Amino acid sequence: MPVAPAPDLVAAAVAFDAQGLVPVVVQDAGSGGVRMVAWANRTALQTTAETGLAHFWSRSRQALWCKGETSGNRFHVAEMRVDCDGDVVLYRGHAAGPSCHTGRTSCFFRSWPLDGDALAEDDDGPPAPPAVIVADVAAVIGRRRRERPERSYVVSLLDAGWTKIGAKITEEARELVEALPAGDKAHIAHEAADALFHILVGLEAAGVAVDDVFGELRRRFGTSGIAEKESR
């Protein structure tokens, strides 16, 4: 996990406005979603770097405040970043609960369609990118293994062992291979989802985190597939 930079370095890199403040964007490190935007002064940035908890400056109360000090919905900062001009700070980390005072996950739960004339408030914030959905499914599989609910398909697979898990992965992969030439996009997506799900079950059984798979893909990014294979 990234480590916050030294407090004096953070403050020195920031171009504060005339009131000694800088806007701070708060981003979930897992989903990439923007949770909230607030203001910080030098003390707030230094305190955030020292404690790992998101601190800000309240312009209305003229006071330092820690996110979640009343609600308990803390935001644990894993990394602090500064933009190219030093006039915006980014807190990346992990939230313990909702970030909006309304109880929504993100303060940005109101959407304004470019072709519409009204705000919509029918979601919990910006949607997660596809990779996060994969990670979320993997997390649910992990919870099923730990909590062992009754009538759980995941638990039944894990209890059956490697023979059953391997057979299901092979079966779903074969069905995907058969679906691909037919060109039915909806059916192909369905079979691909089945195959991916069973691969995630296999990863859970093997104790391999999906983040490790993403990390391996990240390592290979930009490298020729031929060169990568030759390096093994």
Q: What is the mean pLDDT of residues 61-80?
A: 94
Q: pLDDT tier at 73 (50, 70, 90 boundaries)?
A: very high
CA distances to 13, 94, 169 from 90, in Å? 13, 13, 41
- Specify the pTM: 0.66
DSSP structure string for 40-105: E-HHHHHHHHHHSB-EEEETTTTEEEETTTTT---EEEEEEEE-TTSS-EEEEEEESS-SSTTS-S
Which domains does the chain possess?
7-95 (3.10.20.810), 130-230 (1.10.287.1080)
pLDDT for the residue numbered 7: 58
* C-alpha 17 chain-centroid distance: 31
pLDDT for the residue numbered 169: 98
Q: pLDDT tier at 32 (50, 70, 90 boundaries)?
A: confident
CA distances to 23, 184, 203, 205 from 60, in Å? 15, 57, 50, 52
Q: In a 10 Å sphere around its CB, with 0-12 CB exposed, 13-18 middle and 19+ buried, how is residue 105 labelled?
A: buried
pLDDT for the residue numbered 3: 52
Q: What is the mean pLDDT of residues 119-124?
A: 78
- What integer best gives the mean pLDDT of the chain? 90
Whose structure tokens read 């609910």? 149
Q: Which residue has the higher pLDDT, 217 or 222?
A: 217
| H, E, C per residue of 148-200 | CCCCCHHHHHHHHCHHHHHHHHHHHHHHHHHHHHHCCHHHHHHHHHHHHHHHH
pLDDT for the residue numbered 126: 77
pLDDT > 60? residue 4? no
Q: Which residue has the higher pLDDT, 130 or 72?
A: 72
- Highest mean pLDDT (candidates 30-34, 102-106, 122-126, 200-204): 200-204
